[in-house]
Structure formats: C-alpha cells, structure tokens
Amino acid sequence: MGELRERIKARTEENKDKLLDYLKLESVSAQKREIDETAAYVKNLLEAFGAEVEILSLADKPLAHPVVYGFIPAKEVNKPTLLIYNHYDVQPEDPVEEWQTRPFEPVEKDGAIFCRGVSDNKANLIARLNAIQLYLEDHDGLPINIKFLIEGEEEIGSVHIDDYLAQYQDKFAANACIWESGSKDGQGRLHMSAGMKGIAYFDLANQTADIDVHSSQAAIVDNAAWRLIQALASMKDAKNRVTIDGFYDLMEEPNQEARAYLDQVPFDPDALKEGLNLRTDFITDDLDYSEKEALYFYPTLTISGLDAGYQGDGAKTILPKSARAKLDVRLVPGYTPENVQKLLRDHLDSHGYADFDLDLIAAVKPFRTDLTDPFIDLMVQTGETIYGKGKVIITPNSPGTGPMQSFGHYLGVPIVGIGSEYRGSGAHAPNEHIRWEDFYDNIAHILGIIENFDQVNWAN
Amino acid sequence: MGELRERIKARTEENKDKLLDYLKLESVSAQKREIDETAAYVKNLLEAFGAEVEILSLADKPLAHPVVYGFIPAKEVNKPTLLIYNHYDVQPEDPVEEWQTRPFEPVEKDGAIFCRGVSDNKANLIARLNAIQLYLEDHDGLPINIKFLIEGEEEIGSVHIDDYLAQYQDKFAANACIWESGSKDGQGRLHMSAGMKGIAYFDLANQTADIDVHSSQAAIVDNAAWRLIQALASMKDAKNRVTIDGFYDLMEEPNQEARAYLDQVPFDPDALKEGLNLRTDFITDDLDYSEKEALYFYPTLTISGLDAGYQGDGAKTILPKSARAKLDVRLVPGYTPENVQKLLRDHLDSHGYADFDLDLIAAVKPFRTDLTDPFIDLMVQTGETIYGKGKVIITPNSPGTGPMQSFGHYLGVPIVGIGSEYRGSGAHAPNEHIRWEDFYDNIAHILGIIENFDQVNWAN
C-alpha cells in the first residue's frame, strides 16, 4: 500500500498541470462563462488519457451546453462497462469578498488545494483519469470498458440531461455508473449515495384584485396574502406533518436493504444543528419515525420564499392584490413531480383555493439503486480496502436532489457516488477546496474498482 | 340662493389666482419638496384674508415641517371659536405617465380643475377663505373666532401633530373643528366623518438560522417562512374572525347615536366591489354583523406584506433563515396601539412564537366625536340647506385613519369633515381634480356654518 501511495502521489504531481488548467477555466454555467472552452478542454483531456472523445450536442436545442462523451475500450471483448459521470460546470464564485484567494486561481496550502469547482467536481474527473493511467502503467490495456459522460449543466439543474440520454442512450449503455461525488465526514468515513431524492418545485400564486386595495377596507375585502397563508397553513399541521390527503400514501415503503444500510448511516443531530447555524430545534419531535428516517426516507413539503405586498421600511397600508410562494417538495421513491402536482392541485381545489395558480417550475424524479445489486458490494468492498472496515457508508439515497433517475431510467444502471471531498470542502461556498490525502484515497478507490469490476456477476 | 351662487362664483373667480399659485407649489412632503416655500405661501394667503399668522416650529425637532397658525378674531368678545384644519402638503405625483396634464400645472376643463393636491386638500382651504370673505362682504366683522391649523405632514402620517398640539395647546383652543375633507358620493350626497379608525402597524419577524439552509434538510430543519405562516394562521379563523384571545373584548359597543347615524350611511356592496376591482367576494359571509358594521365599527387585523427567502424567477432551494410580515391593525374606540401590541405579544408568547420580534412602527389612536354634540346637528342642518334633506351623511367614523384623536385629546373638540371632493376626485391618484359645482356647494356650506356657529349651545 505504501508503494501504491507513492505512485499515486507521483502521478498526481505529473498530471497536476492538467488539473490546474482545468480549474482556471471559469465554467460558470449559470452565467454561460467559458462553457465551450471548457468542453473543448475536457475533450483534449480525455484524449490525452487515451479516450475516444466526441462533443455531443442536441440538434433541436442549440442553447444546451455540450456533453463530452469519452470511451476507452477494454483490451478484450465482451467485458462489462463502467460509466463515469462528472460535470465540467461550476457554481458562481459569489460572494467573492469572502474568498481568501482568487476564486479561479488554484492555490495550494496546508495540504489542500483551493479553487472554485475543485471539489464540485473537477478534481474528481482528474482522480478518475489518474486511476486509469495508474492501471495502465502495469497493464497493456483496461480490463473493462470505461465511458465518460461529462456534462455542463449540473449546476443549473441538468436541464438537458434527459434529452442527451434519450438521444444517445446506446452510446452510454453501461453496467454501472460512478456518480460525480462522495464525501468524507468528520470521522473520515466515506459517504456514498446510491440514490437521490427528487424534487417538484412550484410557484404558488393568487390574486384578489387588479390593484392593491387600501387596507382601511380590510374588514370586508379579502387579501391575497391572507389567502396564501391560509392555503399554506392548510397543508401542514402543528407537528409538521403534511396534511394533504393521500400525501404519505404515495410513499414506497423502504425495503429491508434500504433500512439496513440506513442503520449504518451515522447521524449526529447536535453536530448537524451546529453545522447549519440553527437557532431552533429540529421539527421531528412529534414524529413516529426518527430524524434520520425523516431526512432520508420521507418526502418533504416546504416553502423557499414568500412574496406579497409591501416589504420596505415603515408602513404601507395596503391589502396586497397578489401573493406568491415558492414550494419545494422533495420526492422519494413512489413520488413523481406529476403525482405530487395532482395532489396539491386537488388539495387547493377542495379547500377553497381553486383560483390559485400552481406552476411546476422544476422537476426531478427520485432514484434509489436496487441495493441488492452487486455493484453496491463492489463499491463497499473496494472502499473498505482504502478507508477501512466500517468506514464506507452507503446512503440509500441522499436527502439532496440530482439527475440520477435519468441515468437509471435511460440506462438501467446501478449508481453510486464517490469522490475526493470532505464535509468542509465548501462546495458552492467561498474557499472551496479538497485535501490532497482525500484525493489520493479516492484515486486508490477507483483503481480498486477498475481492478475488480470484471469480477462482478453483472445481471444487466 | 340664486344670488348667493352668483356671488360665490364671482368670489371664486376673483380669488382663483390664489388657488392656482397654491396648486403650483410642489409641496410633496414625502420628498421634502417646496415645504418651507409653501408654508410661507400659506402664511401670506391667510394674511391676505385678514388673519394674524404665525409659522410654528418645534424647537427640539428641527426637521418637523412647519405648521401655519392663523387667527381671525370675532368682532365681539366671548364668542365661540371654530378651528379649521387643513394641510398644505400633497402626495407624490407618481405615476406621472398616467396623468393627462402636468401634475403641478392646474388645468381647467369640463367644469373641473385638475392638479395634484387640488382635492387633497388645497382647494378646501381656499373654499374656507372664500366663505369668510363672502361673510365679510355683508358684515363688518366675523360673528365667531376662526383659527387655522395648516400642517405640512399629513401625507406622511402627521408625524409631529401631537408635538405641535401639545406645545401649542392653548393657541389652538376651540369649540369645534372642521376637518380637512368630505366627499360627495355618486348620488351627490355629502359624507362627513365625525371620527376615524386608528392604526397599529407592526413589523413581525422571526429568524431560524444564521444563514439560509439547503432545503434538502426540510425533513428535520425548521423554516422561518413556515413558522411565520403558522403564527399568522393562528391569529384568524376560516371565517376571518380574529382568534387572538380578548381581541374583540376591547371593543366599546357603539352607542345608539352611532348606530342611528350608521343606519343612514348608504352602502352599496356591488358598487364598492366594482370600484375596488375585486376578484373575490367580501369576507363577511359568516359574520353575525353586517358588512357595513364590519367596515365602520369593527377592528381589523390584516397583512400588508410578506417577505421571506427567494422571490425571483425559477427555483432556489432554501429554507429561509428569516421571514417578515407587515401587520396592519385598524382600531375603533376601546383599542389603543399599546393594548393591541400587548394582545399580539401575549398571543405569540403563548402559542410558541416567543422568539418573534413584534415592533410597533406606526400608531394612531381611534377617535369618534360624541355624536350627541350639537356641532353634529349644526353640520347636518347647514349641510341640508345646501345639499338637500337626507343628502348629508354623518359617518360615526371613517374606515380610514387620521390624526383626529390628537385634536380630540389635546383640544377636546368635536370634529367633522367637509369638503369639495367627490368619489371620483382621485386623491393620491393621477388626474386628481375637483368639480367647480362641488367647490361652490362647499363654500356655501361653510358660509352657513359661520353664520350659525354662534347659535349652538356650546357645552365645552
């Protein structure tokens, strides 16, 4: 292991310029900065590591950011295929004033490397390429086929991933997929997600008058803000249970494998509370399931924004003509954006709010890999070799949302995420960084996967 | 009457330049435009009509807009005193693009005169001065003392009126007060308010975290927007009754005079609904009192604004760290801003919202003139001579708010409002105007009050 570690470090040094040049590209998808340049860079990068590469586009959607497809075939025929998913786009660097270095100038210090996008998720692609090169140092070819899908819209909701997967379904066919990321916790345990919650995000709005009404009329005139409050209040009880008829009936009961894996997921409420700077207790006091179950297995219905009437300083005496809320619903298996939209619509209609507009403005289906799939064992076993026994954690699904379901749907693959991040990496935040030791661990993990992937009894 | 009408018209023509010059002054108090110039103009104006005038200020509040005090003594001693209240400030002229003429260039057309501030409330002062002059054409002095209080902050909430009345209480001593305005309805009936609702306006806010939390944590983490919704929903039931303990107990039952006058107040729900461009029905279906009683006799608790989290286009997936509402509470006799604040605070504290901030940011006490005061009869009888029997309406209090209570408190006077406006005058709106015929009626009404004021058996 010591010798391998030295080889990983040497390989990292040798390829470091490739990482640095990749990091310097300001590929902020929300602002369409250097998108084509970065896609071209990734093409060259994959080619430099021996892949056949194509930059894919969508004929009827010219504004879609390109997807980079790469393929390195196995030395022998009839070998299984591993699909590697990453994204070359990054979050905006705001707030710049909170960075201690320039956001797009990579800086190494204290055993870490700082740059926007290094943890989310540029370094992970370089780690995967380094692992392939390490394997090829000792062998004259790969034991498996490796494909790459590197997209440029992950940070804006992977808005065209379904189009790409539908159009290029055959090209991306694989036996399993390594997701973009995975993170170490405070105890050095690697958390690997085998699924993600989905989301249905709504604009909810109502209008009670053409113009704001003077609030002296409040005794008799209705008010869009009050109606919004009453409509929202009707959707949740004091125990924070959703009170929409049938809401919980949609939920697929987590199977025993999911429950068994969740049992092993560490959960420290106090650390989480502190990490989130909360001023309030968790809202799960009155639930008949645990906080951890709530977080991973249950759907949520929450409000991300309220907007009505006057919001400035002082007093403006109006009955707001209109009021809007942003509704964020997280989905677990059993839910789709569409069936949730129907439940909400029915609830509004039957509670006196038929006039409310309910627009679905973001929709991602939930996904949970079949946890009996042998790929799960492969990921755990190869991980334990690197991180230690009991130090790799499979979460049946992350509480967060991502486009895993699209891959599951179009490619039928099991999916697990691994990566070089840790809890303090600051994805989406100033001073984003990864620690080199985590990067080395990650490379070793991927190397183990490449070495053992062909041993798996692939059903699919 | 025909001869008087001709004299009123002639007087109006003769003094028209004084009105036009007054209108041209852009005395927008919210923007501190031409405030001192307009106060000086009013001083000269009152002097031109024979008053002794002082421009008053507050020694310890140099930013307070000046109040113009005027006094025309009765020819004889021991005569009662009528206080005339007006304001020289006006609303901002926005939206300018909706004006058909320039906002501060008076234009006469179709028997009306258009200008910002003409109805609210510059013409009314000129009408009152014209009436005085008409009386003096036939007499060698006034039968009563007349005082003027012309303020410059009415459109910004009369923020220093209490200071002025407290400091100059003796100067403004009077037997009765004519309020700034009164308006004709669609049937040509003059509505005169003998009172006004008060207001307690609050900022209500809560904070659940130092920074917004990712909404993937919604299953366990509380959310300032939800808490605000739940807190507000706890204050009102589905029938729009306020559910704060003791809220309605504060209300002084309207006496038989108030009920008798309210019976005569016309109320046309359909016309009101149409005039307000409402898309919803009135909220009074389930009340055990009428819409009219609700509007005039009942307190209200409403929301003028909601502000939490994300309000832009598209989706931002957060649990808002903080949420705020603007709470507008209209007060009738029995309520004060302070006793309402205590009820709200107690409600929040006892319902799990002790951490909410509740700041009182605007406060005006309610006022209702003693409706048995002989001044009421004087206003009705003199009004009926001009407008016709049954054509003058006393509202025990207006649903709106103004600083009447300050005058009642410091001066102990009965107060009734009359004026030259009509329902379509567009106070605070583009194309503000009054009709000349209404202006003439108003002058005649004031002349009648001057002639008959000394006949009243003044108790105070």
CB contact under 8 A, A303 and B320: yes
Confidence of residue A95 (pLDDT cuts 50, 70, 90): confident
Quote the percentage of chain A above a pLDDT of 70: 99
Query: Is A400 in contact with B214 (Cβ distance < 8 A)?
Result: yes
Residues of A in contact with B157 (CB under 8 A): 315
CA B82/CA B131 separation, integer angstroms: 13
Instruction: Please judge whether B306 and A308 are an interchain contact, meaning their C-beta atoms are less than 8 angstroms apart.
Output: yes
Chain A CB contacts of B219 under 8 Å are 284, 291, 294-295, 298, 300, 330, 399
A237 min Cα distance to partner chain B (Å): 9
**3-class DSSP state for residue B339?**
helix
Output the pLDDT for position B272: 83
Q: What does the DSSP 8-state code read for residue B154?
A: G
Residues of B in contact with A274 (CB under 8 A): none
Query: What tokens were used for B254?
Result: 């309207």
Show the tokens assigned to A101.
Answer: 């270095």
What residues of B are in contact with residue A157 (Cβ under 8 Å)?
Answer: 315
C-beta neighbour count of B71 within 10 angstroms: 16
d(C-alpha B438, C-alpha B218), whole Å:
61
Instruction: Please give the average per-residue pLDDT across A284-291, as a whole number.
Output: 84
In the structure encoding, which two tokens stand for residue A253, read together? Answer: 């009961």
Facing A220 at nearest CB: one of B283, B306, B361: B283
Provide, as residue numbers in chain B, all residues whose Cβ is less than 8 Å from the Cβ of A218.
Answer: 300-302, 328, 330
- Taking an 8 Å cut-off on Cβ atoms, the answer to whether B219 and A307 are in contact is no
User: pTM higher than 0.90, yes or no?
Assistant: no
Alpha carbon distances (Å) from B434 to A318, B6, B284, B424, B430: 25, 19, 33, 8, 13
Cis, bond preceding B95 (omega within 30 deg of 0): yes
Domain boundaries, chain A: 1-196+366-455, 198-251+299-364
Torsion region of A61: left, alpha or beta (phi above 0 gives left; psi -120 to 50 gives alpha): beta
CATH class of A1-196+366-455: alpha beta
> In this predicted model, what pLDDT tens digit does every residue of B16-59 receive, in sequence order?
999 999 999 999 999 999 999 999 999 999 999 999 999 999 99
Cβ separation of B220 and A295 shorter than 8 Å?
A: yes
Closest partner residue to A304 (CB to CB) among B222, B276, B317 is B317
Are residues B201 and A317, on separate chains, in Cβ contact within 8 Å? yes
Look at B316 and A302 and tell me if their CB atoms are within 8 Å: no
Q: Kindly identify which residue of chain A lies nearest to residue B285, measuring between CA atoms.
A: A220
Euclidean distance between CA atoms B48 and B8, whole angstroms: 18
Residue A14 Cα, gap to closest chain B Cα (Å): 38
Smallest Cα distance from A358 to chain B, Å: 13
Inter-chain CB proximity B330 and A209 less than 8 Å: no
Residue B433: predicted pLDDT: 97
Task: Note whether A228 contacts B279, CB cutoff 8 Å.
Answer: no
Question: What is the distance between the alpha carbons of residues A263 and A242, in angstroms, rounded to a whole number?
Answer: 25
Alpha-carbon distance A405 to nearest alpha carbon in chain B (angstroms): 17
State the Cα–Cα distance between residues B104 and A257, nearest whole angstrom: 77
Token pair of A435 as six digits: 């620690």
Distance (Å) from the alpha carbon of A233 to chain B's nearest alpha carbon: 6
Taking the CA of residue A119 and the nearest CA in chain B, the distance in Å comes to 18
**CB-CB contact of B346 with B404 (8 Å):** no
B453 touches B216 (CB < 8 A):
no
Beta-carbon neighbour count of residue A288 at 10 Å? 8
CB B293 within 8 A of CB B265: no
Residues of A within 8 A of B332 (CB-CB) are none
The torsion angle over the Cα atoms of residues A116, A120, A122 and A128, rounded to 10 degrees, is: 150
Question: Residue A391 burial (CB < 10 Å; 0-12/13-18/19+)?
Answer: middle
What's the pLDDT tens digit per position in A114-137?
Answer: 999 999 999 999 999 999 999 999
Two tokens, residue A29? 């998808």
Cβ neighbours of residue B431 under 8 Å, at least 6 residues apart?
B98, B99, B100, B101, B114
**Other Cβ atoms closer than 10 A to B406:** 19
> What residues have CB less than 8 Å from B53, skipping those under 6 apart?
B43, B46, B47, B68, B69, B70, B71
Hey, how many other C-beta atoms are within 10 angstroms of the C-beta on B200? 26
pLDDT at position B287: 82
Q: In the structure encoding, which two tokens stand for residue A443, read together? A: 């490379």
CB contact under 8 A, A320 and B300: no
> Which neighbouring-strand residues pair with B331?
B198
For B402, the closest chain A residue by CA position comes to: A216
Question: Nearest chain A Cα to B293, which residue?
Answer: A219
Closest CA to A298 of A265, A333, A327: A333
Instruction: Identify all chain A residues contacting B304, using CB atoms and an 8 Å cutoff.
Output: 215, 225, 309-310, 315-320
Q: What is the DSSP string of A98-110?
A: G-SS-TTS-EEET
What is the rounded CA–CA span in Å between residue A131 and residue A110?
Answer: 24
Q: Nearest chain B Cα to A222, which residue?
A: B283
Instruction: Give the DSSP per-residue string, B398-454.
Output: EEEE-THHHHHHHH---EEE--SEETTS-TTSTT-EEEHHHHHHHHHHHHHHHHHGG
* CA distance linking residue B134 with residue B7, whole number of Å: 8
Q: Decide if B225 and A314 are in contact by the 8 Å CB cutoff.
A: no
A220 or A238, which is more confident: A220
Transcribe A407-452 into DSSP letters.
Answer: HHHHH---EEE--SEETTS-TTSTT-EEEHHHHHHHHHHHHHHHHH
**Mean per-residue pLDDT of chain A:** 95
Quickly state the pLDDT bin for A239 (edges 50, 70, 90). Answer: confident
Instruction: Tell which of B94, B208, B303 to mutate to test the A interface (max A CBs under 10 Å).
Output: B303
A-chain residues within 8 Å CB-CB of B223?
A: 302-303
Interface residue of B232, B281, B304 to substitute, partner A, most A CBs within 10 Å? B304
Report the C-alpha gap between A312 and B40 in whole angstroms: 33
Residues of B in contact with A236 (CB under 8 A): 226, 230
Which residues in chain B are closer than 8 Å to A269, comparing Cβ atoms? 220
Q: Which amino acid is at B170?
A: D
Give the residue from chain A lying closest to B331, CA to CA: A216
Residue B211: other Cβ atoms inside 10 A: 10
Q: For residue B191, list chain A residues with Cβ-Cβ distance below 8 A.
A: none
Residue A445: burial class (beta carbons within 10 Å; 0-12, 13-18, 19+):
buried
Integer-rounded Cα Rg, in Å, for chain A is 24
The yes/no answer on whether domain B198-251+299-364 falls in CATH 3.40.140.10 is no
Interface test with B, best of A211, A235, A304 (most B CBs within 10 A): A304
Query: Tokens standing for B303?
Result: 């929301």
Spatial CA neighbour of B83 closest among B182, B221, B180: B180
In which residue ranges of chain B is pLDDT below 70? 1, 460
- Considering CB atoms only, which of A226, A295, A323 is closest to B219? A295
Nearest to B215 among A222, A277, A302 (CB): A302
Q: Are the C-beta atoms of A330 and A199 separated by less than 8 Å?
A: yes
Q: Give the model's pLDDT for residue A275.
A: 80
Q: How distant, in Å, are the alpha carbons of A194, A432, B122, B387 from that of A323?
A: 39, 37, 36, 43
Q: Which of A213, A278, A317 sits opposite B221 (nearest CB)?
A: A278
Per-residue CA distances from A182 to A198, A302, B336 (Å): 18, 26, 59
Partners of residue A207 in chain B, C-beta under 8 Å: 279
Pick the residue of B326, B335, B350, B353 with the most A CBs within 10 A to test the interface with A by mutation. Answer: B326
Contact B300, B328 (CB under 8 A): yes
Structure-derived torsion over alpha carbons of residues B217, B218, B223, B229, reported in degrees to the nearest 10:
170
What average pLDDT score do residues A349-364 get? 96
Whether residues A220 and B278 touch (CB distance < 8 A) is answered with no
Give the CB-side neighbour count of residue B366, counting CA atoms within 13 A: 30
Q: Where are the beta strands (DSSP E) in A224-346?
A: 300-309, 318-319, 322-331
Task: For residues B362 and B354, give the distance between their C-alpha atoms in angstroms, rounded to a whole number.
Answer: 22
pLDDT score at A380: 97
The H or E element that residue A357 is part of is strand A357-364
Reported as a pLDDT band with limits 50, 70 and 90, residue A1 is: low
- Name the closest residue on chain A to residue B351, using Cα atoms: A238
Give the pLDDT score at A184.
Answer: 96
Mutation target to probe the A interface, by most A beta carbons within 10 A, among B306, B310, B311, B316 is B306
- C-beta atoms of A303 and B221 within 8 A: no
